[in-house]
Amino acid sequence: QQQVKQSPQSLIVQKGGISIINCAYENTAFDYFPWYQQFPGKGPALLIAIRPDVSEKKEGRFTISFNKSAKQFSLHIMDSQPGDSATYFCAASTSGGSNYKLTFGKGTLLTVNP
Amino acid sequence: DGGITQSPKYLFRKEGQNVTLSCEQNLNHDAMYWYRQDPGQGLRLIYYSQIVNDFQKGDIAEGYSVSREKKESFPLTVTSAQKNPTAFYLCASSLLANTGELFFGEGSRLTVL
């Protein structure tokens, strides 16, 4: 049973464009939603995270939009750059953000063309 | 520099052999984790440890074993009982198990021939 569904699997965007990655979840007990960024041959790194008490969180060019009623959250990358080309994972967990309860999406491979 | 060191980066083994992947952290984190990453499958938790001498099974623990004798170290053994061991293995740590950011190592790619 996949508890966090991520789409699309891959995404190609032109430099300067907006990249949008979507995730949907089923478990209404989830209360922590991080996004991780992974470059080839490296481990993932935390990019940005949100809790359900807010609908949006912005850090630089990266924004998480959260829709609690629809059980969906998305990552928006504004002014996408070739250096943003990476795999992005959404995740969700319960109990205030327990790392051992993190459920990851299957990932989105983003390619930003120059 | 603080971080997580995984070794070896690449490992080839024959079917039926046990292999041990090393994970060391100097972040003074209490919690450590092992994940498996397969193409198009996301990250799946194998084992985690919240304190020394204690560890818990994750979602896909069958065929794997771990130990946590020191705070800094959390080695993973892939046993011959693991039916499909070829994968990318990631070690991670966090200050506490119940909150905060996961810090990942650069991974170990195991290929079983």
Going by pLDDT thresholds of 50, 70 and 90, the confidence category of residue B54 is very high
Q: Which residue of B has its CA nearest to A100?
A: B97
Pick from A96, A105, A107: which is nearest to B98 by CB? A96
* Eight-state DSSP code of residue B16: T
Q: What is the pLDDT of residues B24-51, one digit of tens each?
A: 999 999 999 999 999 888 899 999 999 9
- Write phi, then psi, for A26 (nearest 5 degrees): -110, -35
Q: Count CB atoms within 10 A of the CB of residue B57.
A: 13
Cα-based angle B78, B80, B82 (whole degrees, multiple of 5): 65
Does residue B8 have a cis peptide bond before it, meaning omega lies within 30 degrees of 0? yes
Does the pLDDT of residue B53 top 80, yes or no?
yes
Nearest residue of chain A to residue B9 (CA atoms): A41
* B99: nearest CB among A44, A46, A97: A97
Mean pLDDT of the region B3-19: 93
Taking 70 as the pLDDT cut, the residues of chain A under it are 1-2, 95-97
pLDDT value at B1 more than 70: no
- If pLDDT is split at 50, 70 and 90, which confidence band does B100 have? confident
Predicted pLDDT at B65: 97
CB contact under 8 A, A89 and B43: yes
Distance of CA B34 to the CA centre of its chain: 3
Q: What is the mean pLDDT of chain B?
A: 93
Q: Which residue in chain B is spatially nearest to A48 when comparing CA positions?
A: B101
Counting one residue from A and one from B, how many pairs have CB atoms under 8 Å apart?
64
